Amino acid sequence: MVKITIDKNSGYCFGVEYAIDMAENELEKGETLYCLGDIVHNSMEVSRLAAKGLIVIEKDDLANLHDCKVLIRAHGEPPETYKTALQNNIELIDASCPVVLKLQNRVKHEFDRVQAKGGHMVIYGQKGHAEVIGLNGQINNQATVITSVEELEALDYSRPISLFSQTTKSTQGFQKIRSTIEQKILDAQTDADLAEVFDANDSICRQVSNREPQLSQFATEYDVVLFVSGKKSSNGKALYSVCKNLNNKSYFIENETEIEPDWILSAQSVGISGATSTPMWLMEKVAHRVSEISGSPFVKS
């Protein structure tokens, strides 16, 4: 008998759930609704909403639309998107996550402060990610976006630096970036007062960062961990690495069809978790597939 459990702390974060609820409410009105980019980094959920009528468009498509409704997803958008919508009489259904909107305002205000001191902005995030594009767009794309410690070599450590993070990045990754910058500043300015020349803003969403310690415990409680996430999800990649570091029998899957029976057959327990962009219904499909393979019942709690 295999114990099959879905992580009770997994599933949509508030921002994603809010965006999907807004989309479904609009679609129920029977009107055409466009979405600027995939509403969530999960292809299964994108397909489900497409079947309900949600039409995904890219940034370049927006300029050619007029007199319609366009949903802004949780990641947020740069100011130019709102300007285009106003010019083209587009009604925006703004589902930007409140956490992201607050961060956008923080970035704008901090940019003015650090620029006055001759400093520069650094954003720890995934290049090309919608949230990062929105953040950098608040300051005319004048921040340096870095994804790894190696990229820190390009910064000028003789100038003040203000650091922010994409909300869904790993807290461990952020701390490593921060400590590396601190050391490089001290190497470049031996008499530097770090409090004066370096402002590190841990802007990672607490709903995301709290998942890491919770998931660390979860990953050690099961023989096998199936982590369900879209391959585009930055949050998913970060959380999966938490599982893999603690349980070598952790597997990253997008849906139930990717499960290899050999992973399950020798296990006594299987834990199923997912990113903040992974719907509960998809994790339940994974649980039912594990039940089919193992011949053990899955009881939804």
Q: For 98-156, what is each residue's pLDDT tens digit?
A: 999 999 999 999 999 999 999 999 999 999 999 999 999 999 999 999 999 999 998 99
Highest mean pLDDT among 198-202, 203-207, 276-280, 295-299: 198-202
Is residue 235's pLDDT more than 90?
A: no
**Under 8 Å between Cβ of 273 and 228:** yes
- Residue 207 CA to residue 171 CA, distance in Å, equals 12
Does position 234 have pLDDT exceeding 80, yes or no?
no
CATH fit for domain 3-11+209-294, picks 1.10.20.60, 1.20.120.790, 3.40.640.10, 3.40.1010.20: 3.40.1010.20
- Expressed in angstroms, the distance from the first to the final Cα of the chain is 18
Q: What is the pLDDT at residue 86? A: 97
Backbone angles phi, psi at 80, to 5 degrees: -60, -30
Mean pLDDT of 85-108: 96
Distance of CA 1 to the CA centre of its chain: 36
With cut-offs at 50, 70 and 90, classify the pLDDT of residue 166.
Answer: very high
Instruction: Assign a CATH topology to domain 99-166+170-203.
Output: Cobalt-precorrin-4 Transmethylase; domain 1 (3.40.1010)
pLDDT at 67 over 80: yes
Confidence of residue 285 (pLDDT cuts 50, 70, 90): very high
What's the pLDDT score for residue 172?
A: 85
- 39 CB burial (10 A radius; 0-12, 13-18, 19+): buried
Q: Please, which pLDDT band fits residue 301 given cuts at 50, 70 and 90?
A: low
CB 56 within 8 A of CB 37: yes
CA distance 33 to 222: 42
Flag whether pLDDT at 228 surpasses 90.
yes
Percent above pLDDT 90 for the chain: 82
Q: Considering the chain, what percentage of its residues have pLDDT values greater than 70?
A: 100
> Rounded mean pLDDT of 266-272?
95
Looking at residues 240-254, what average pLDDT do you find?
A: 95
Average pLDDT for residues 49-61, to the nearest whole number? 95
Closest listed residue to residue 285, CA positions, set 48, 56, 70? 48
Nearest C-alpha neighbor of 199 from the set 281, 119, 284 = 119
User: According to the model, what pLDDT value does residue 238 have?
Assistant: 82
**Axis-axis angle for helices 43-51, 14-27 (nearest 10):** 20
Provide CATH 3.40.50.11270 ranges for the chain: 14-97
**Dihedral angle sign, alpha carbons of residues 189, 193, 198, 203:** positive
- pLDDT (mean) for 207-230: 92
List residues with catalytic annotation.
131
What is the average per-residue pLDDT within 31-55?
94
CATH 3.40.50.11270 fits 14-97, yes or no: yes
Instruction: Enumerate the CATH 3.40.1010.20 domain ranges in the chain, comma separated.
Output: 3-11+209-294, 99-166+170-203
DSSP category for residue 76:
-
Mean pLDDT of the residues in the chain: 94
Give the tens place of pLDDT for each residue, 168-217. Answer: 888 889 999 999 999 999 999 888 788 889 999 999 988 878 888 999 99
Average pLDDT value for residue range 294-298: 92
**What whole-number distance in Å separates Cα of residue 74 and Cα of residue 52?**
19
